[in-house]
Amino acid sequence: MNILSLFNYWAVIGLMMIGYYCVIVRGNMVKKIIGLGIFQTSVFILFISAGKVLGGSTPILRDGVEIYSNPLPHVLILTAIVVGVATTAVGLALAVRVQEAFGSIDDDALDRHATEDEA
C-alpha cells in the first residue's frame, strides 16, 4: 500500500481542508456557505469512494458477475446530499434576510451593527 493507492483519501482531506479553511477565514456569509458545501462534499466522497470494491461491477444483479461494489454508501450519501442542500438553502435564505436587515453580509460590518444594537 503506497501513498498513491490512497489517493481518494488525499483528495478528501484536501477538499475538506479547503472547505473548512473557507468557513473559518472568509467573512462573507455566502463564501462561508460555499466553504461549508465543499466541506460536506468531501465527506460525501469519503463515503462513496469507500464503497468501491476493487474489480467489482456496478451493483445491478446480472449473469456472469460475481463481485459487486457496495451500493449502501451511495444510498446514505443520497440522504446526506439532501441534508446538505437543505442546509445550503437555509443558510442562503438567512443571508438574504441578513442583507435586508443589516445592508451587508460581511462579518466585520455585521459585528459593528450588532455592537451598535447592543448599546
Partner 1 sequence: MNITEFMPFAVLLPLIAAPVVALLPGRLAPWIFAWLSAAGALLIAALTLIAVFDGEILRYAFGNWPAPIGIEYRVDAASGFVALLITAMATLMLGWGRASVNREVPERQGAFYALFLLAFAGLMGITLTGDIFNVFVFLEISSLATYALIAHGRDRRALLAAFRYLIMGTVGATFLLIGIGFLYIMTGTLNMMDLAERLPAVGESRVLQVGLAFIVVGMALKLALFPLHLWLPNAYTFAPSVVSAFIAATATKVALYVLLRFIFTVFAPEYSFTALPLAAAFTVLAIAAMFAGSWMALFQDNLKRLLAYSSVAQVGYMVLGVSLVTVMGLTASFLHLFNHGLMKGALFVAAGIIFHQTGSVKVADMRGLGRVMPWTFTGFALAGVSLIGIPPTAGFISKWALISAAIDADQTWMVALILISSLMALAYIAHIIEVAWMQPRPKGAPVVKEASAELLLPLWLLVAANFYFGIDTRLTLGGATAAAEALLGGGGL
Site residues (vs partner 1, CB under 8 A): 20, 23, 29, 32, 36, 39-40, 43, 46-47, 50, 70, 73, 76, 79-80, 83, 86-87, 90-91, 94-95, 97-98, 101-102, 110, 114, 117
In angstroms, give the least distance from the CB of 70 to partner 1: 8
CB of 44 to partner 1, least distance (A): 9
Asked whether 52 and 42 are in contact (CB, 8 A), the reply is no
On the 0-12 / 13-18 / 19+ scale of CB atoms within 10 A, 104 is: middle
Q: Phi and psi for 95 in degrees, rounded to 5? A: -60, -40
Q: Considering beta carbons, is residue 69 or 87 the nearer one to partner 1? A: 87
